[in-house]
A and B are shown apart, each in its own frame.
Chain A
Amino acid sequence: MNAFYNLVSGPLVWVAFAVFIGGSVWKMTSLLSEARKKDNHIFEYWSWGHAILSYIHWLLPFGSENSKQQPVMSLVTFLFHLGIILVPVFTMGHIVLLEEGALGWSWPTLPDQVADIAAWVVVGGCCYFAWRRLTLEQVRYVTSPADFGILIMVAAPFVTGLMAYHGWGDNLLMTSLHMFSGEIMLVAIPFTRLSHMLTFWVIRGYTASEFGAVRHVRDW
């Protein structure tokens, strides 16, 4: 067990970050250079003003028409994504590790209780999304096992993190699994649908530009 812990808390962390960062850079540069060759209109019609307005409307709950029509989904999605960003980046345990280990510097942390709640929100969000996939006809129709796989992949680091934090189960095992599942998720971001974290900005911005700058209408 110690060997597994040493692996996931040592070399695999570096591998995961390297693949995540390298993979993300590769993904976006290859997509954008292909777009430059074959979809140059994305650049030609790009309008930062409209893109930024659109980002704001679509990232904040109830900013868009559809968000208003789907209040539960809007709130859950908003809180879920907030949690996904806040918990890994601002949790005490993570920052201590980074300060003592790789980086040697730190930044403010979330109070433990807030981080705890945020992690529960993420897990709850995953459950909600799974429930939607299973019960709403229009979602079930376009759902494949891979969609559940991604939900599990996202939920795993949060579930194991909560278990480690609350002392449920073997602590060393949970901590090791927490690190391992977090690393899997990081690595998966550039190569799965989780890449929407990267591509959102391009697609949303391009659509906003066509709607706003070319067609003179709102896209929200």
Chain B
Amino acid sequence: MSEAEAKKKIDIDNIQDAGLDQGVAKLTPEHIEKVINQVMDAETGARMKMYVDTCVHCGLCSEACHWYQSYDRQPRFSPVGKVKQTIWKIVHQKGKLTPQEVRELAVVAYTECNLCRRCQQYCPFGIEIAYMIAMVRRICHKLGVTPQYMQDTCHSHSATLNQMWVKEDEWTDSLQWQEDEARDEFPDLRIPVGKEGAEIMYSVIAPEPKFRTQLIYQAASIFHESGADWTMPETRGWDNSNMAMFSGDTELAGRIVKEHFESAMRLKVKRIVMGECGHAYRAVYDVGNRWNAWKMFPIPVIHSVQFFYELITSGKIKCAEKYPEKVSFNDPCNISRGMGLHDMGRHVTEVFCDELIEMHPNREHNLCCCAGGGVINCGPPWKNKRILGNSAKADQLKRVVDLGVTTIVAPCHNCHGGLDDIIHHYGLPLKLKFLGDIIYAHMEKTRAVE
């Protein structure tokens, strides 16, 4: 037995999670049936019916899924296999599920599907399996059966409107701290907080002030160098992340997005620039705005990749010296398959890096990092299962390592989390960079002191 095979022998079927276990313990069959049928009747309609009735069980979606590829092509991990274990069961049993069966729904829906929508590109009908799985999460949420770590972030969203329990004074403190740090390098740099009428509101995800504060420094440096008229909110709404979208708490998900846009409206900015996060981008353009009955953004929103592209093509920032190592670009699902930003991302990378080597599959056909869709937010209990569930990505990375790549550029926080884990687990000699990391380190700094 190889080492990799031995590692796969971890028990992935009996993982304890207080959120699931305690949630299930409170369930009764009557309550389960009532809630499931309530969601299926009131919140789904023709779309769900068409998806369920049209699927011809051909299995052609299987190869699309990194879970299926990674777990020795076990059919239970194929996209349609996951639908069989969840929605088909719900439909066939008319909502009459046992508490244990509800737990099984939750395990499949929260921890074995990244909602990356790659399978939708492989289905001859274009059936959106991610929609069905998200609906299963919705049911689990309403039943109070959600992974503990994910639910904790949702509680934080609910109480503070950011996912990391960052208090208001801590938020502004972090910004001032980063401004202070950056002024050693750029004496005139400001992080304008709550500036009304600025052109841009910059929003980030809560892990940035909490764990990756240097990213705010870097972003501020890029804004400063480019001469942008920007600000960050001093009030709630500065966090664009949205775990409620993944837990199935759509009411809260909508509330978070509403606050994000309203903070931009309060500041009277012309548009929002978001940091390098994929799921947050999905939350505003694809989920939250629709929940709030907006067809598209009420205020223009662009992702960092678009912003960097704009700065480069307009000549506002220039490369001083290219990053000298071979890099490969990892396409985050939610901004490549989700918004077609893959070519812009490559353009920025090529301007700042010596050599870009493609990994395959790529662009909108990329393989998910296995962290997205809230899976990494299910926390430590599920970490090993998730890492083993993405050996397909590790294989993909190994292939570019063999071509001399030393660095992966991934403009998404979730991708960083997922890739970081597999890089360590599979012992890959790779560094991980955000685009902001590379731009900050290699741009011309005309306003900096030596």
Contact = CB atoms under 8 A, between A and B. Distances in A.
A207 B120 CA distance: 8
A195 to B, nearest CB: 6
Interface string A203-218: 1101110010011111
Contact of A216 (B45, B51, B62, B339): B339
B76 interface: yes
A39 B126 contact: no
- Quick one: which of B53, B73, B128, B338 has the most chain A CB within 10 A? B53
A138 B81 contact: yes
A105 interface: no
Interface stretch (A10-18, A62-70, A168-176, A177-185): A62-70
Contacts of B57: 139, 142-144, 147
Contacts of A215: 286, 337-340
Instruction: Give the residue among B58, B63, B64, B122 with the most A Cβ atoms within 10 A.
Output: B58
B25 interface: no
Contacts of A200: 54, 125
B56 interface: yes
A196 interface: yes
A193 B59 contact: no
Given A140-B75, A142-B59, A217 B47 contact: no
A66 B122 contact: yes
Contacts, number: 131
B240 interface: no
Interface residues on A, range: 35 or more
B337 to A, nearest CB: 6
Contact of A38 (B46, B62, B125, B295): B46
Given A203-B126, A206-B126, A142 B80 contact: yes
Given A66-B64, A142-B75, A215-B338, A196 B56 contact: yes
B126 A54 contact: yes
Contacts of B365: 65
Interface of A: 31-32, 34-35, 37-39, 41-42, 44-45, 54, 58, 64-66, 69-70, 73, 77, 132, 136-144, 147, 193, 195-196, 199-200, 202-204, 206-208, 211, 214-220
A-B pairs with the 3 shortest C-beta distances? A207-B126, A38-B45, A216-B340
Given A138-B80, A217-B336, 20 more contacts: A31-B49, A31-B50, A32-B46, A35-B47, A65-B122, A132-B58, A139-B58, A141-B78, A141-B81, A147-B57, A196-B54, A196-B56, A203-B54, A204-B125, A208-B126, A215-B286, A215-B339, A217-B338, A217-B340, A219-B126
